[in-house]
Structures are given as C-alpha cells and as structure tokens.
Chains A and B, each alone.
Chain A
Amino acid sequence: MKFSRLVLANLFRKKVRLILTIGSFAIALVLFTFLAVVKSAFSRGTEIAGADRLVVVSRIGLMQLMPISYRDKILAIPGVKAVTHNHWFGGVYQDEKNFFPQFVIDPENQRQVMTELVVPDDQWNNFVKDRMGAIAGARTAARFHWKIGDRIPIKTTLYGGGSSEFNLDGIYHSERPGGDESQFWLQWKYFDENAPAPVKSTAGWYVVKLDSPDDAVRVAKAIDEKFANSSFETKSETESAFAAYFVKQFGNIELLILTIGSVVFFTLLLVTGNTMAISVRERTSELAVLKAIGFSGRAVLFFVLAESVIIALVGGFLGLALAYLTIPVIGLALTGLLPPLILSKSLLTLGLGFALLVGAASGLLPGIGAMRMRVVNALRRV
C-alpha cells in the first residue's frame, strides 16, 4: 500500500513508547489467556462429561455406599446400555502432596461405559488377570515417571489399612481432548476381598451408559423411583450435572476471574488510549499539514487507526507466544491441584480478536478527533 511507509515512520517515531505499548498489550494478553485457561480448568469436568452417561450416588451423601446388587437392577431398566461401579480409594503415594484420584473399578464393565478412556488390549488383558493390577492415566504416569511393570506402593487408609504394592499393568489415554488422564484404577476383586464387613459388596457410585442421551431424564427418574423408600435411596443425574455440583462448590472463582479480567481490560484500554492520544496530540500540526495538502479526514483517521491496530496485533501475537511458553510451566506447578491447563486454538483466536478490538477502540477517539479538527485552528497552534 502506498501509505505504508508513512504509517511505519509514524510508528517508529518514539521507539521506547512503541516498545512499552506493545509490551503492555503482550502482558495483558498473557494475563487474559492465563485467566481463561484457569477458568476452563475449573469447569473442565462439565465440559468433558459424557452426555449419554448418568452418575448414581446415594441420596443421603456422597461418601455413603450402596449395595452392589443395584448394578443388575439398574441394568434391567429400559434405555440402559451398561453399568459400572466405582469406589473412592483414598490412598497415599509416598507423600500426601502427590495426590491423584484413585478409583476402584469394575473390569467387566469399565470399558463399555467409559468408552473414551482407552487402554491397549494387551495391557488391559494383563490387568484383568492381575489381582494386584493397576492402570494409571497418562498424565499421572508421566508425572511420577512410571513405566509399565513398575510396582507402585500405595498407603491405604480408607479400608483395611497398611500399605500395598500394585503392579502397573497399563496406561490409559483419553480420546476426548482435555479428558481426565490423572486417575489410578485398581481391581474391584482385590478391594472387595480386603474390605471390612460394612464395605463388602458395596459400590461408592454407579456410572450408567445410556442408549441415547435423550433418555437421560427418564432413566434417571426411573432409577431413583426404583430405589425410593428403600434403606439406600439414590440420586441420579447426568455426568455434567454431577461435575457442575463440584464446580459450583468452588464458589465465586468465576466471578473472581471475571473481575480481574475486566480490571485488566480497563487498564489496558486506558494505557493504549492514552498513548494514542498523546501521539496524536504531539502531531497535531503534522496531521493538519496532511489535511491542508489534500488528504481527506477519513485518510487521517485511517492513519491513526492503522497505527493502533498494528501495535495491537504485534503486541497480541507476542503475548500469545509468551502465554504459549509460560502456561505449561505454571501448569506444572499446579499439578495435583488443578486439571491440566489447556491452551486451545479457539482461545488463541479469541485473544487475538480481543487485542484487535482494544487496538481499534483505543485508536478511534483520537482518530476521530484528528478527522474532525479544523486545519486552520490546528496550524495556528504553536
């Protein structure tokens, strides 16, 4: 474009200011991306939940157990494709800091229900045969540098007590992006044999796979009605509602993040808007000369806008690149505290769009001022 040299020359007029403004943009985008990533990590459970799955827990409380006989009763309800059951196994690996969720799983049905968590067939077959077998999620295995065949000592306290060594027979991956790859699975048979009397032949919760997601409400109701007025009543809900139950309990994290986000947005707008205003003010007489020699008001607006948008774009790209580099580092520091931080493509696009918007908005006011100014007045100013 024929005016590109003029725009460029204006851009580099004050190098320090240019660098600082681009820097502010980059910083704001790092922050924006980071907050968005953390927010999505908090609500990850609801995002990745299977629409065709129900979670059945005891009505009277999360830690209450239900009889194992419910499995067949739930399976008999029309619309149910498969049922599996789990227990929470609150063991400790080496130190409490090394937290990862440990589930006692039912090898017969696990793969029919949790279809997106994939284990290679040979590893799975070894696990099924092995009473003391275990399967770890790829993330947990990588975190502790476990290899298949390793013996993993887990101090158990919830049931029985003492320490047990499990054989790592396999590693599972999640086919769904962002899926939970931190779980550690143990054999139901081993668990049940060692459980004290009140825990024997029970399930902590059931996961139900449906024929169709449309049946979710009907089947959930049917399950709860079936066990109503028994000594173990149930509460059935979709997997995403179950996950949302935990997310909501984190409290106002979302509000907190939105508040910080808007403070940043506002500050950024002020910084760039002010910079643009200063640089336009400094150049009043120059812009007036441009208009005097025949450039239209719109052309002048274009020059100012082009400058601010270029600053926004460069700063935006820089910020996203920085975020791309720093977020995995901070994610590492948060292992065990939050689900993995994932920087998605849509988030990167959103960030860039956000930068463009701020850039255009901050150039607009001084630009319109320059467009409207009267040449005579501007030139008369010393």
Chain B
Amino acid sequence: MAIPIIYNVRSVKARWTSTIVAVAGIAGTVGVFIAMLSLARGFRATLVSSGSEDNALITRAGATSEMTSGVSIDSVKIIQDAPGIARGANGPLVTPEAVLMAPIPLLSTGTDANVELRGVSPNVFAIRRNIKIIDGRMFQPGLSELVVGKNAKATYSGLTLGSTIGLGSARWQVVGIFDAGGSAFDSEVWGDAHLLNGAYNRPDNLSQSVTVHLASPAALQQLKDSLTADPRLNVDVTREIDYYSKQSTRMTQLITILGGFVALIMAIGAVFGALNTMYSAVAERGREIATMRALGFGGPAVVFSFLIEALLISFIGGAIGAACVLPLNGLTTSTMNFQTFSNLAFAFKITPELLVKGIVFALTMGLIGGLLPAVRAASGPVASALREL
C-alpha cells in the first residue's frame, strides 16, 4: 500500500526552514544552468540567423572571416557572370562588400566599442531578403548616408535617425533604420561601399567579400564548381548560413565550457544540500516513520514516499529557478565576437525545451539527493525507533 502524497506535502510544509535550503540550492543551480545555456544559444542563434540558405558568401581562399579576406574588382566581374546566381531587374544579385570597423561609444558606458561598418551595393535588400527598412529610407548611392541596424541604434550613441556622425574622414547622415530579425546585421552600420572605402583610405578596387543570391539553394554546388575551377580566381564559396554558424563557434564554446563547469559544481553542491535536508527530515521523523511501518506500510512504500518528497522539493526548486531566469528571455546584451573583434548584440534565448531541461536537471538532483535518505528511512529496526525518545 502506498503512503498518501498529502503526507509528504504536509511534512514539507511543516519543515519549511530546512526545505528552503534545499529549494534555494536547487533553484540557484537550475537558474545558472538555464541562463548559461540560453546565453550560448542566443549568441549562436544571432549568428546563425544572419545567414540564409539561398545566399553564398565568397571570400579569398583560406580566409577565416570577412576581416581577413579580400576580393579584387576583377574577380567580382568574373563572379557576376558565374552560373547559379539569381538575376534581378538590374542584373545579377551580387553585393561586393567592404567590411570595416569604427570605434563608436556605447550608450551604456560611454566607452568606445568596435562597430562593424559594411559598405554594400544598393541592391542589397534584394539579396538579403529578410532585412527591411523599418524607419526612414535606404541610403542613396553616392551620398554620405548611412542605414543603421536596430540593435546598433539602441546600443551605440549618435546613431538615431537624422543624426550625423563622423566616420573615417567624412561626415555621414543616418537616413534609415533596418531590422534584420535579431541577426548579427542588426549590430551593423551600412553605407555606400565606394564612399566608405574613400573615407578610410582603402583601395576601391578591393572588397572584403561578395555575397550573392542563389537561383535556388541547390545552385550552390554549381556556383562553387564554376568559381573554384576558374584559374583566374582564388576564392572560397560558402553557404552564408554555414559561414555564420562557424563564426559563433569560439564564443559558444567558451560560454558552454564555463557555464557547464559552473553548473556541474553547483549541482554537486545542491545535491549535498538536498541530502542534508532529506537526512535531517528522516532523522527528525524517526518515530513517525517507525509508526507508519508498524501500521503495515512496507519498506518500498516508505522509500517511494521519501523519494516523492525529495522530488517534490527539487521540482519546486527547479520551477523557482526557471521562473527567476525567465525574465532574461529576450534581454539584449552585447559582447565582442572573437572571430571578428567587433561588437555584437544578442539576446538571451530561453526556449520551452530549455526550461524542461532545467526541471529534469532539478529532478535528477532530487533523485540523487533523496535516494540514500529514503533507503535509510526504510531500514533499521522498528521497535528500537519507537522506543527512542
């Protein structure tokens, strides 16, 4: 026969001071666990969502990022005529881009951060189709005008619509704000590639990368074959989404290792806390337990009952921990991306799946912490326990 669960609920309530310890330990652990994972996921999601299935990024062969790449204007001309590239009203959908970095003060601290400046061609929105102007308009080719990602506008000072800012040797007016759906582009500032090159004393016949819109996702192979076989070119062709997911590896790895270690250590601590609470629960209730066993509840029923109690405590802890970090969801923070040295805004991303993982983690801790005390409760002679004062 099973011991009613209401017994456990009541005893948790009766011993709430020692229960709180176990609950707090588990809540803290689960909170850290979820926060760290959501940070890593948010960072990764930001970069991965920057890439698109139908776009290909062309860089110099062997370049690890756009920063270390260069594609000459002669190569761009060859690339434009390659097979597999979609065509728009004004010719092939190709944007040769200049990637630069400019120090712009952060709104939060007033200190400079490296902002990625991207010189793009005017047809860029036909290539990166998930990016839209949400305020103002696109810059006019040949004018010192900028469009700014929505995170860049919110993170750096002086990038609001209509303001002017000195970048390189020129002054620029912000004429539009664009929304890139939370991707890395949202942290960028875009302008006319030729003018940006001029303002930064860069040769105008060299782009950092070329992004093309593919006729279909499957056309990548065709384009790749044609470009890599061409003896005049020395380039790598990568699907845009692959390029960006690779960009996220080092930071994601760092957060995962650090967060994983911290959560592991905290889990051991929380299991200790749970063990302590459950052992004292068992010890304080020696007579109670002996009475139940004298009444005819078997050993397994007692073990089961105490396990339920441990799981109940850990579930409450896990739920509190998850609830405490839930407000982090969507919170935008920024960090430096190791691979490009530029500043990148990203949001904590707490998915239901992550919450479930957190609760499972809590229940596991409760199970480990409750098993030994439960076994102790069920063993030991009934008579002597009843005789104890």
Summed over the interface, the residue pairs from A and B with CB atoms below 8 Å come to a total of: 160
| Cβ proximity bits A123-160 to B, threshold 8 Å, 1 near / 0 not | 00000000000000000000000000000000111100
Residues 1 to 60 of chain B near chain A (Cβ within 8 Å)? 17-18, 20-21, 24-25, 28, 31-32, 60
Given contacts A17-B276, A30-B265, A251-B334, contact A161 B60 (CB under 8 A): yes
Q: Which residues of A contact B61 (CB under 8 A)?
A: 157, 161
- The size of the chain A interface, using a CB distance under 8 A, is 60
> Inside 8 A of B341's CB, which chain A residues have their CB?
62
Q: Which B67-117 residues have a C-beta within 8 angstroms of A?
A: 67-69, 100-103, 106, 109, 111-114, 117
Looking at A165-173, A220-228, A262-270, A372-380, the stretch in contact with chain B turns out to be: A262-270
Contacts of A30 in B (CB 8 A): 265
Closest beta carbon of chain A to B272's beta carbon, Å: 5
Number of interface residues of B (CB under 8 A): 66
Contact A62 B114 (CB under 8 A): yes
On whether the beta carbons of A248 and B24 are closer than 8 Å, the reply is no
**What CA separation (Å) do A92 and B253 show in the bound complex?**
19
Which residues of B170-211 have CB atoms within 8 Å of chain A's CB atoms? 199-203, 206
Instruction: Map CB proximity to B onto A266-281 as digits: 1 under 8 Å, 0 otherwise.
Output: 1110110011011000
What is the minimal beta-carbon distance from B326 to any residue of chain A, in angstroms? Answer: 15
Q: Is B62 a contact of A275 with CB atoms below 8 Å? A: no
The CA-CA distance from A38 to B261 in the complex, in Å, is 12
Decide if B62 touches A161 in the complex (CB within 8 Å).
Answer: yes
Contact of A271 among B117, B266, B273, B343 (CB under 8 A): B273
- A270 and B20 form a contact (CB under 8 A): yes
- Contact bitstring B245-289, A, C-beta under 8 A = 1, else 0: 010001001100110011001101110110110011001000000
Ordered by A's residue number, 10 sampled pairs between the chains whose C-beta atoms are within 8 Å are A34-B261, A61-B117, A90-B67, A92-B64, A155-B62, A157-B60, A157-B64, A249-B334, A253-B335, A271-B276
Enumerate chain B interface residues (CB-CB to A < 8 A): 17-18, 20-21, 24-25, 28, 31-32, 60-64, 67-69, 100-103, 106, 109, 111-114, 117, 167-169, 199-203, 206, 234, 246, 250, 253-254, 257-258, 261-262, 265-266, 268-270, 272-273, 275-276, 279-280, 283, 333-336, 338, 341, 343, 389
Known: A17-B280, A60-B200, A267-B28. 11 other contacts (CB 8 A): A20-B275, A27-B266, A61-B117, A64-B200, A90-B67, A248-B106, A249-B113, A274-B18, A334-B257, A337-B250, A337-B253
